[in-house]
Amino acid sequence: MKEQRVYSDEFKSQAVEMAMQHGATKAGVARSLGVNPNTLAGWIKNHKKAKGIVDPAKIEDERSELIRLRRENRRMEMEIEILKKAATYFAKELR
């Protein structure tokens, strides 16, 4: 069974700083420090979460999804209104 290594908080924060520098890759930094790339990715994720840093691409994806859902909601509301008017029309006609 593989022994689990324990890293200090200072080591983790320095690794995250190195990985977040312009031009640095997670895989390259992880390799140079002798850390598993997934471990480094987890540290980066935790750092971003703690600092409230959000990925701009994620924000754009959520914004476009919101626009799509609002458009769909308007279309469905119009369909409901049409169905209500049709139900009222046919209910009057049956009397």
Taking the domains of the chain in order of start, what are their residue ranges?
A: 1-53, 56-95
What is the mean pLDDT of the segment spanning 27-33?
A: 94
Burial of residue 29 (number of CB atoms within 10 Å: 0-12, 13-18, 19+):
buried
The confidence score (pLDDT) of residue 52 equals 86
Share of the chain above pLDDT 70, in %: 98
Predicted confidence (pLDDT) per residue in 54-94, tens digit: 878 888 999 999 999 999 999 999 999 999 999 999 999 88
- Residue 57's pLDDT is 84
Looking at residue 14, its pLDDT comes to: 94
Q: How high is the pLDDT of residue 1? A: 64
According to CATH, the topology of domain 1-53 is Arc Repressor Mutant, subunit A (1.10.10)
